[in-house]
Amino acid sequence: MGRPARVSPDRILAVAALEFAERGFAGARVDRIARRAKVNKAMLYYHFKSKQHLYHALLRRMFSLAAARLQTVAASNAPPADKVDRALAGIAAFIEEHAFFPAIMMREIAEGGAHLDRETLQTLSAVPRAFAAIVQEGVISGAFRPVHPFFAYFNMLAPIVFFQAAAPIRREITHLHVLDLGGASPADFVRHMQDATRRLLARDAGPARKSTS
Amino acid sequence: MGRPARVSPDRILAVAALEFAERGFAGARVDRIARRAKVNKAMLYYHFKSKQHLYHALLRRMFSLAAARLQTVAASNAPPADKVDRALAGIAAFIEEHAFFPAIMMREIAEGGAHLDRETLQTLSAVPRAFAAIVQEGVISGAFRPVHPFFAYFNMLAPIVFFQAAAPIRREITHLHVLDLGGASPADFVRHMQDATRRLLARDAGPARKSTS
DNA sequence: GTCTATACTTCGATAGAC
DNA sequence: GTCTATCGAAGTATAGAC
C-alpha cells in the first residue's frame, strides 16, 4: 500500500520469521533468508548488522505486539472473568496471525533465552505482567480464588503455544495412523483452555486436595 | 558399578543429551560432544553412524522411558483421580531425573518432528495414549466429566514442560529485576498443575460457559 | 577398537566495483 | 543502495595407521 519500498526490511523480517521458526537460530541460513526475501545477501547485512541483530529485531517486534494486545485487554473495565476469556482469545488470535511465533518462542525458551538481551526481556515481561494483573484484580475483588498469578499464566499460555506448535507432529501422527487424536480444531482447544482457566480461577469449591506425589 | 566400559556409548548419549538440549540439533557440535564425553570423534562415528543417528537413538530411549513410566501408572488399579495425580507426579519426576528433556522436546516440537521417524513416533505416541486411557476410564466410570482426553493431556503436560524449560529465563528475569515472579518452586508448580487438572476433570458444577472470543 | 590427520562442504560476513 | 566475488572459520565425516 505505501510507497514502492525497494528492499523493505519488513519483507526481510517476515521471511526471517519463517526461517527462524522452521530451523531455529543455529539452523537458519542467512543465504536462504536473503534468497526467499529476494534481496541480495550483502543488502541484508546492510540493513541488519548480523544474523543476531536480525533475530533480535524480530523478537522485539513480536513481544512488543503481543504485550500491547494483552495490555489492551487488561486496561478495559470488563469483569475479571471476561478479561481472562478475552486474554486467551487475544493470544489465540495473535498466534493465528503469526503462526510462526509459537515455534520461535518454544525454541527461545529451550535455548535458555540465549538470544534475549535486557531490552527484549523487558518487552517480553510485559506479557505475563499484563495477565497477572488481570488475575490479581480478580483475586482481590473476590471474583477468583487465590491462585499464583504466574502459575495461572504458565497454565494457560503453555498449552496454547504447545498445541499450535505441535500441529505438524499431530498431522504426521494422524497421517501415519499411529494414534487417533479425535480430530479437534485449534479453536476447540482454545475454548477448552478458556473453560479450564475459568475452572482454575473459579471461587466455588473444587475437589479436596489430596497429595499423591 | 558395572565393568570398566571403555568407550561407553551410554556416556556419549548422556553428553549428547546435554548438547542437544542446550543447542538444538543444528546447533549441537559433534566435536563438542566427543570432547565432553572424552571419546575420540572417530570413535563416536564408529558407535553412531552420524549426528542424526545419535540424535535418533537418544530420542527413542527417552520416549521409551517416559512411556513406560506412564503405562505403569495407567495399569495400576487406583481410582482415576489418583492415577491422574500420580501421572503428573511421574512426569515431574521423570523431568527432574532428565532435566535436559524438556528443552529437547520443545525443540523437537518446534522443528515439526523433522527428526522423528515412524518408530520414534510410535514410541512417543504411547505417552499421550497412556494418559488418555486414564482420563477415559474416569469419564466412563462417571468419576470425571466428559473432557477431550488429548486436550486434557496437552493441558497438563505443556505447562510442566514449559515451566521446567523456562527455568533459565526465569532466573535471568529475576536476576535482572525485570519482573518479580514471586519465587515459587517447581514442586509448587507441579502441585498447582495437579490441582488444576483435578479441577478440570472434576464432575461438580464449574462456572457456566460464556464465550467472549 | 582407538587415534591422527585431513578431505570436503557450508556458512557468516565483507571487500570493493558500480 | 545494490551487486559479484570471495575470504576465513567452522563443521561433518572419513581414510588409514596402529
pLDDT digits (tens, 9 = 90+) for B16-32: 999 999 999 999 999 99
The pLDDT of residue A8 is: 84
CA atom of A8 to C1′ atom of D7, Å = 28
Interface of B with A in 155-184 (CB under 8 A): 155, 157-159, 161-163, 165-166, 168-169, 172-173, 176, 178-179, 181-182, 184
Angle between helices B80-97 and B101-110 (to 10 degrees): 100
Give pLDDT tens digits along chain A (213 positions). Answer: 444 456 689 999 999 999 999 999 999 999 999 999 999 999 999 999 999 999 999 999 999 999 999 999 999 999 999 999 999 999 999 999 999 999 999 999 999 999 998 999 999 999 999 999 999 999 999 999 999 999 999 999 999 999 999 999 999 999 999 999 988 899 999 999 999 999 999 997 645 555 554
Residues of B whose CB is below 8 A from A181: 150
Split at pLDDT 50, 70, 90, the class of B209 is low
**pLDDT of the residue at B182:** 86
What amino acid is encoded at A23 in this protein? R
Q: Determine contact: B25 vs chain A, CB below 8 A.
A: yes
Chain C positions with any atom < 7 A from a protein CB: 1-5, 10-16
Which pLDDT tens digit goes with each residue over B97-108?
999 999 999 999
d(C-alpha A24, C-alpha A89), whole Å: 27
Cβ contact, residue pair B159, A155, below 8 Å: yes
Residue numbers of B between 112 and 151 with CB closer than 8 Å to A: 112-113, 116, 118, 121-122, 125, 128-129, 147-151
What is the reported pTM? 0.92
* Cβ contact B201:B152 at 8 Å: yes
Instruction: Determine contact, residues A197/A155, Cβ cutoff 8 Å.
Output: yes
Per-residue confidence (pLDDT) for residue B208, from 0 to 100: 53
User: How far, in Å, CA of A114 to CA of A103, rounded?
Assistant: 16
Please write the tens of the pLDDT for every residue from A5-34.
566 899 999 999 999 999 999 999 999 999
CB contacts, 8 Å: B19 with chain A? none
Per-residue confidence band for B4, with pLDDT thresholds at 50, 70 and 90: very low
A132-136, B8-12, B89-93: which range is least confident on average?
Answer: B8-12
Contact A74, A133 (CB under 8 A): yes
Q: How far is A10 from chain B (nearest CA, A)?
A: 23
Q: What radius of gyration, in Å, describes the C-alpha atoms of chain B? A: 20
Give the pLDDT band of residue B1 (cuts 50, 70, 90): very low
Distances (CA, A) of B87 to A140, A189, B140, B156, B209: 33, 22, 19, 10, 28
**How far is it, in rounded angstroms, from Cα A55 to Cα A53?**
5
The answer to whether some atom of strand C lies closer than 7 Å to the beta carbon of A40 is no
Asked if strand D comes closer than 7 Å to A10 Cβ, the answer is no
Strand residues in chain B grouped as ranges (E):
none
Place of cell 513416533: B121
Q: Which amino acid is at A121?
A: L
Which nucleotide is the nearest neighbour of A30, by CA and C1'? Answer: C12
Residues 6+ away with beta carbon under 8 Å from B16: B28, B33, B37, B54, B55, B58
Q: Is B185 on the interface with A (CB under 8 A)?
A: no
Q: B96, B118, B12, B97: which is closest to B55 by C-alpha? A: B12
CA distance A131 to A134: 5
Q: How far apart are CA A91 and CA B7, in angstroms?
A: 49
Compute, in degrees rounded to 10, the torsion defined by CA atoms A181, A183, A186, A189. Answer: -60
Cα(B207)–Cα(B200) distance, integer angstroms: 11
